[in-house]
A and B are shown apart, each in its own frame.
Chain A
């Protein structure tokens, strides 16, 4: 109880520094949150696209259906592969007509190549895996050509990675700044209470007891910073969602993780500083 009261008093004693600590923690988490949201939404879009990612291996004219069936079976056994499907020339024509609807007349009398359509398991739909599997399929002598997901999938992937890295770099920078500011706040608090602390030591208060209010102060700032960041991120997302494009928000688990990270930031910033400065009192 006393520790909590002391922590509250500390807030009142240095309001500007306290607000600054909370704000930098919030900015740190806001940077994580914002770029995290971008990454999350790209990821979400990719997932929807990836569901459709197929490798289509076109087979040379005159390949025996048995060879195709054999190859389809072999490919289905690859660890990355979910399912394969042999598409004959006739079936390819039927599918093309269906997909094109009104323009089906284009295909009147045309010959489309037969193919083996390969669907990959979730988790193997990234560009690298697709390329790897394609290379193996290409080894079949009767495979003419291979088509898979468009180039822009790769670009989206790159964008997602850039967003992720930008978020981490900015977030960590702000995290560093917030640790320094919290450390400074605690230093001032420890020094302003030097006499009190030395008397506490003298009468037998444990180090843990002396530390506690400072740690609670740091923890409280971390949590407040986390909540502020959550609010900022949520408001930003809502604005984008309403006026620009539809987006999704973090689930409860990630949100909680963010708050936890804020709390840890505050706690660790205090712990480092209080440990260092108590020794000098």
Chain B
């Protein structure tokens, strides 16, 4: 479903961000990406939604190749992905409902479909009663839920979350993580970058650790090696 083949990414000024990474993420998987700041987690995630293209190698996401895809194809691909960030990225002058609806409005969704889809997505993240609230009237955890609802409203096959709990307290973090598990349980793959080792340690999910652009540990492949 998502495959990295010998992917490297370097920038003219800062040097290598991702160094010869090959990996595969299957349908419905839950994968943690971890490692110190600047290890290349964010760059790796950006290459999934093709905000960045590899300097060498290829990323394939659901049939779209980073080597050949044009702007239009990337736009079409992103309609099948859900993307969430640490800083929520909500529009302050729109209500929760309008923020979620925005994703549908700008992708040519039939107007009649928008209302029901938005209501369903907000219910799914537990904000059914807060649709008319503006972001400033919501807690951090609630704002992130709105962002997740926006990511889910197009029924993505994978949810990409870059430090989704980075700005949240422990309680909100647990809530968001619980929500991501539920989303994963309903069949959507989740790729989550996080610093929160506490969170990872308590889970059985696949964990990929990166250092200086390279994958240094992948629990799906290297578990035996680590145990020995």
From A201, A203, A210, B102 is in contact (CB under 8 Å) with: A203
From A2, A203, A206, B154 is in contact (CB under 8 Å) with: A203
A207 cross-chain contacts in B, Cβ below 8 A: 71-72, 75
Question: Are B79 and A195 touching (Cβ within 8 A)?
Answer: no
Question: Are A199 and B75 touching (Cβ within 8 A)?
Answer: no
User: CA A196 – CA B103 in complex, angstroms?
Assistant: 11
User: CA A207 – CA B76 in complex, angstroms?
Assistant: 11
**Contact pattern, B 62-89, Cβ under 8 Å of A = 1, otherwise 0:** 0000000001100111111101000001
User: CA A200 – CA B102 in complex, angstroms?
Assistant: 8
Known: A195-B89, A195-B91, A209-B106. Contact between A203 and B72, CB under 8 A?
no
Segment 73-128 of B: residues with Cβ below 8 Å from A: 75-81, 83, 89, 91, 102-103, 105-108
Question: Are A203 and B71 touching (Cβ within 8 A)?
Answer: no
B78 cross-chain contacts in A, Cβ below 8 A: 201-204
Total contacting residues, chain A, CB less than 8 A: 15
B107 cross-chain contacts in A, Cβ below 8 A: 203-205
User: CA A204 – CA B75 in complex, angstroms?
Assistant: 4
User: CA A202 – CA B147 in complex, angstroms?
Assistant: 12
Q: Report if A14 contacts B (CB, 8 A).
A: no
User: CA A203 – CA B83 in complex, angstroms?
Assistant: 8
User: CA A203 – CA B150 in complex, angstroms?
Assistant: 9
User: CA A200 – CA B83 in complex, angstroms?
Assistant: 12
Interface size class of B (residues with CB under 8 A): 20 to 34
**Contact pattern, A 199-234, Cβ under 8 Å of B = 1, otherwise 0:** 111111111011000000000000000000000000
A199 cross-chain contacts in B, Cβ below 8 A: 89, 91, 102-103
Question: Are B75 and A205 touching (Cβ within 8 A)?
Answer: yes
Question: Are A206 and B72 touching (Cβ within 8 A)?
Answer: yes
Which applies to chain A's interface (DSSP): helix, strand, loop or mixed? helix
Segment 166-217 of A: residues with Cβ below 8 Å from B: 195-196, 198-207, 209-210
- Residue of chain B at shortest CB distance from A207: B71
- Residue of chain B at shortest CB distance from A208: B72
Q: Report if B33 contacts A (CB, 8 A).
A: no
User: CA A86 – CA B150 in complex, angstroms?
Assistant: 91
B49 cross-chain contacts in A, Cβ below 8 A: 202
- Residue of chain B at shortest CB distance from A200: B106
Question: Are A205 and B83 touching (Cβ within 8 A)?
Answer: no
User: CA A210 – CA B102 in complex, angstroms?
Assistant: 13
B80 cross-chain contacts in A, Cβ below 8 A: 204
A205 cross-chain contacts in B, Cβ below 8 A: 75, 106-107
User: CA A30 – CA B96 in complex, angstroms?
Assistant: 49
User: CA A204 – CA B106 in complex, angstroms?
Assistant: 8
User: CA A210 – CA B89 in complex, angstroms?
Assistant: 18
Question: Are B154 and A196 touching (Cβ within 8 A)?
Answer: no
Minimum C-beta distance from A54 to chain B (A): 66
Minimum C-beta distance from B14 to chain A (A): 18
Please indicate which of the listed interface residues B106, B108, B154 has the most CB atoms of chain A within 10 Å of its own CB: B106
- Residues of A that sit less than 8 Å from B by CB: 2, 195-196, 198-207, 209-210
Q: Given contacts A203-B102, A204-B107, A205-B107, could you give 18 more A-B pairs where the C-beta distance is less than 8 Å?
A: A199-B91, A199-B103, A200-B102, A200-B106, A201-B75, A201-B78, A202-B78, A203-B79, A203-B103, A203-B150, A203-B154, A204-B77, A204-B79, A204-B103, A204-B154, A205-B106, A206-B75, A210-B106
- Residues of B that sit less than 8 Å from A by CB: 49, 71-72, 75-81, 83, 89, 91, 102-103, 105-108, 150, 154
